[in-house]
Structure 1
């Protein structure tokens, strides 16, 4: 080759390089990548519209099922409940530079954990309700510094928790419940992290940094202990056996015989007593006793109620004229069942002689209230009458302790349905039931606002455990309007109203504080998640549930916040989204931007079980309940960074 041919050769090489680059760019288009990924899947009938002449993403709209788009790029895959099988070709998906979310929930995938760390840009991963199994390598999530949410529950994973999870700086949500993980739970140091390790085979103590989590997040691990579970038992090391001299053994025998003699003497002295002690010190710890046999057969009630014997010179004060009267002694002799102990006091159910069942609440944090003031407030509460407000039947006053007697609700609390362990025949609350409940709660709260206009917090303690359900699942508000009679220090430590944002901002509660509690309750009802901030004592507790909801709808698709156990049909998606918006407006951090109760109640009343035809068409055209821009343009929302700054 002569010198004069060199420029032509260079031009030819550059041209070939450009052709190859153009060919490579075409081959690596997002449509091509997705079609190659589809080849690794089986039973792909739900993805039948992948391919053809239509491009995948047009702006923020996707033309392909299960694909999420933003600004013309693929940002996520939502391949949920499509009966998919096969393998997840992570290597191919890694060529999608903008992918941030991946969900393969409720499918039929099996086998080991995919090499998910190759998707370094992921923010959310959802793999629950499949058949994935085996050990997860320690470095399975190495380098995924932006991931915030990892959901692996209801699979068959085993072995230890991969240590790379503890090194993810932005992780806020980790769910690995209902697997076969074992060993010790590593210590996660991330702030604001919510975890669920339930129903595995973990052992040892709960790490210190996770001790503030909800106890239900660790249930089902029988060898796990430590706060928030039962304390770990101290293991005393076995001492080596030593040969005792004969003199030591003799002294031990003499001491034992002397001790037996003393016990016999004390026993004879006790037998000479004509009557047992009539009273017993009343303590909250006695609630853990299941009961004791009284003089009458088949009658059981908690030990602590013996301090209310009729010779205490007190009578029950009835506030309902239509209630058949009974005496305090009748109440104490009735068969009873301990229901539990809450932040206000203990409670038990009593079956009266007339077949009526009541719930007796015992309060010890009302000592600052005088007799006349207490009587007046109880009569005021007794005058309230609404289908969604639990009626006060009677009360008992004593300076040290008070009893409040309410009617019994057949189906227990809303909290037990959302977070408790259900029996075999008990179904999860579906969307129509939850909508019915929140409408009743809103009506009951609105009634309290009208009847108690001078109280800044007409309820004050609105949460799921204080929403009781009758046999038709109609909600009944309980523990309402008690702030005037509860000791202020105790109220500020335990009442829900005193965990609101305005306590941090101004140190006071307002008429909008109960609206904030309503908003948190709505989010809890829709997500099925327990508000972790309620577990923290004192003012200034983080609004964890509201922050979590905001982070999900900002980063992925709005539907991910909804409780999968609602089993809501497609026709209900629009209504669920509307209720979510209402809830977020109700628990707005800034009190001025928060909804008024009247406005919130009116919007809740407008909700229906299913969308209209126009609404259904609108939401069916969107793969994720509309874009995030549309969702946030219709409401104000909490910015997590702004919230953290204000809170600090």
Structure 2
């Protein structure tokens, strides 16, 4: 019996040990691996302004239904969470990387176009499984640790553009074998560019403070990817200066011989000048007659300006070639253009504009640009060809262009009804056409649609327009608007752009010297207020930093004092129409677009959606068949696998 008792005791002890181990494993399993939905809610608690945009993050709702997510900003594949796409949600706060690291199937994360700030997020905590990190267009700042990407062997795309990062580019990026795209433009990185050697690699480091020679492995990259760094050299940028040789001591005899040689050369020069002066007297009369002949003006004085001065430079071999980017226009030579009767339309901050009447087709407009040397010839041609492919009823098409290092010409159609600015602020004719509320509503709807089209077709540009103002909105004979002077920021010299372009007068640039995809929305808001009030925005006349949005400030002050009726332009003849309610709605839209805080400012889709809802006095809706969906607006490039090929912002 003692033996049986001993065996039973050992059996009970063994069972207790196994039970303890089992319970321990169960407790570890329960508390160590929380569900993805629980982890996401924990991550959400670290964010600010997430209540509305992530309102459907509900633990009672299934996270993934095969490849479809029931939660905003979550990407699913085969029933698992594979990515977070929290773009353009006005989010701020703290990115809790410790919590994200527990999402074992997370492969990519994007928080682009938000208001996050502070140091670089420690994405390394997520581990080597991460394939995409997208942080562009936020307010992250400080130095990026050199080992920030150590061990992240699977990452393919890293987008950190338009932040406030500084210091050296992390060398840990060199150890990522699958890296195919790195965007660091519009930051404050300094030092040399590391020698990236990955295959099919795309790099953009424009507008930083980098210096030194560009590594030979990157010589095939676009020159625009390195522009805005004053001290970079080597292909594809200008060649580096040769190294200075160490000066050696010069023998005394060499100095003496050089001095004697110099005296001899000086004597020869004086003798040559004497002979030249003597011969000059004989040819004075001939020269006078020749100069008189050259100074005679031709009988036809209406030709394209400055033809005699520049004709040889325009017409010599390939330098005189016009490049046509549209197939629906009849081609002509530069000589035809120079011979055509021309009328000066005006002179702006970029250069002069001329109307030319060619014997073939309709009149055209030629714009001359002298401050357009930000990119080289190949990049300029590529950008212009890209603009030439644009086609929309509310976007003025580019017809042709001409490239010379010192000067560029852009050719467009002539729009016979002038600019919106001329109708709002120009001299009034005896019987001016009525710019009433229905017409102004049609104009602003057309402008918004044209801007939305530019956003869709130019997803890689931070500023698809960059210079939206009333003088760049042209009106055809039916008062249908055509947006002009768009997408010029990449080719305009930076100093000139900062001094004159509208985007650089926005609150975010004045305060922090940063631009976002919402900067064009601010310009749209100012245009709306100008259209409603009839007042010219005084900030357009001010150059450089410090130009305040006077019109928006004035409107806010009037509305705050509840004098709303004093805001609207009396020339709209509102007494003839029952439209004040709709006008007040548009006023609110303009104020929301002009919000000083970028985080609180509406994005373009929200503004466009509200503008399209507006009606004229008879309840007639001007909506057209064209209305881009959110997918068209922000996803020109589709998401592929779990790799996150987002539409990219330059």
TM-score normalised over the length of structure 1: 0.50
Q: 1:251 corresponds to which residue?
A: 260
Pairing of 1:47-446 with structure 2 (within 5 A)? 47-119=54-126, 120-240=128-248, 242=250, 244-245=252-253, 247-248=256-257, 250-261=259-270, 263-264=272-273, 267-268=276-277, 271=280, 295-296=294-295, 332-333=307-308, 346=321, 354-356=341-343, 407-410=364-367, 435-436=392-393
> Would you say the 8 A contact 2:342–2:357 is kept in 1?
no
Q: 1:33 to 1:214 in 2, by over 3 A?
A: same
Tell me, what secondary structure is at the counterpart of 1:68? strand
Q: 1:204 to 1:255 in 2, by over 3 A?
A: farther
Q: What's the Cα RMSD here?
A: 5.5
What is the Cα deviation at residue 102 of structure 1?
Answer: 1.0
Query: Are 1:433 and 1:473, in contact at CA under 8 Å, matched by a contact in 2?
Result: no
Q: Give the structure 2 partner of residue 609 of structure 1.
A: 626
Instruction: Provide, for residues 268-327 of structure 1, a one-character-per-residue CA deviation record: whole Å limited to 9, x for no partner.
Output: 477466778xxxxxxxxxxxxxxxxx9449x9xxxxxxxxxx9xxxxxxxxxxxxx9999
Matches within 5 A, 1:500-539: 525-528=457-460
Distance in 2, Cα, partners of 1:144 & 1:170: 10
**Contact 1:176 1:198 (C-alpha < 8 Å) held by counterparts:** yes
What is the alpha-carbon distance in structure 2 between the residues aligned to residue 210 and residue 194 of structure 1? 9
Deviation of residue 40 (structure 1)? 2.3
1:47 aligns to what SS in structure 2? coil
Is the CA contact (8 Å cut-off) linking 2:174 and 2:197 kept in structure 1? yes
Within a 5 Å distance, the mapping from 1:551-562 to structure 2 comes to none
Whether the 8 Å CA contact 2:227–2:375 is kept in 1: the answer is: no
CA distance in 1, matches of 2:239, 2:637: 47
Q: Where does residue 37 of structure 1 map in the other structure?
A: 43
| 14-23 vs 34-43, which moves further | 14-23
State whether residues 303 and 338 of structure 2, in contact with CA within 8 Å, keep that contact through their aligned partners in structure 1.
no
The answer (yes or no) to whether the contact 2:456–2:636 under 8 Å persists in 1 is no
- Provide the C-alpha distance between the structure 2 equivalents of 1:129 and 1:342, rounded to a whole number of angstroms: 44
5+ residue gaps, structure 2, are 1-5, 288-292, 323-333, 346-354, 378-385, 400-407, 418-453, 463-516, 522-602, 610-623, 642-650
- Alignment counterpart, residue 15 of structure 1, candidates 18, 22, 27: 22
Once the 2 structures are TM-superposed, how far is the Cα of residue 7 of structure 1 from its aligned partner?
A: 3.4
> CA-to-partner distance for each residue in 1:605-638, whole Å, 9 max, x for gaps?
xx94315xxx78xx69x997999699xxxxxxxx
Between structure 1 and structure 2, the one with the greater Rg is 2
Aligned equivalents of 2:136 and 2:366: distance in 1? 35
Q: Give, in whole Å, the separation in 2 of the partners of 1:103 and 1:470.
A: 41
Task: Supply the distance in 2 between the matched residues of 1:107 and 1:330 (Cα, whole angstroms).
Answer: 48
Whether the aligned pair in 2 keeps the contact of 1:410 and 1:471 (CA below 8 Å) is: no
- 1:505-533, Cα deviation, whole Å (9 max, x unpaired): xxxxxxxxxxxxxxxxx999444479xxx
Q: CA deviation at 1:243?
A: 6.2
Q: 2:270, 2:367 → 1: CA distance?
A: 54
- Structural mapping, 1:460-539, within 5 Å: 469-470=412-413, 525-528=457-460
Contact 1:571 1:610 in 2 (8 A): no
| 1:183–1:202 contact (8 Å) kept in structure 2 | yes
CA distance in 2, matches of 1:122, 1:102: 8
Q: Which residue of 2 aligns with 1:485?
A: none
Tell me the alpha carbon deviations over residues 184-222 of structure 1, each in whole angstroms, 9 at most, x when there is no partner: 112221222222111111112222222222221111111
Do the aligned partners of 1:159 and 1:183 also contact (CA within 8 Å) in 2? yes
Contact 1:334 1:351 (8 Å CA) reproduced? no
Contact 1:176 1:196 in 2 (8 A): yes
Q: Distance in 2 between matches of 1:58 and 1:625?
A: 25
Q: In 1, Cα distance between the equivalents of 2:413 and 2:368?
A: 5
1:47 CA drift (Å):
2.2
Query: 2-side partners of 1:216 and 1:130: how far apart?
Result: 22
CA contact (8 A) 2:223 2:375 kept: no
| Structure 1 residues 329 and 55: CA distance shift in structure 2, 3 A | closer
Gaps of 5+ in 1: 277-293, 300-309, 311-323, 359-389, 396-405, 421-428, 445-464, 475-521, 531-562, 575-606, 631-648
Q: CA deviation at 1:252?
A: 3.8
Q: Cα offset for 1:264? A: 1.9
CA distance in 1, matches of 2:138, 2:182: 17
> What's the secondary structure of 1:12's corresponding residue?
helix
Q: Which has the higher contact order (CA 8 A, sep 6+)?
A: 2
| Counterparts of 2:121 and 2:41, CA distance in 1 | 19
Q: What is the CA–CA distance in structure 1 between the aligned matches of 2:373 and 2:188, rounded to whole Å?
A: 25
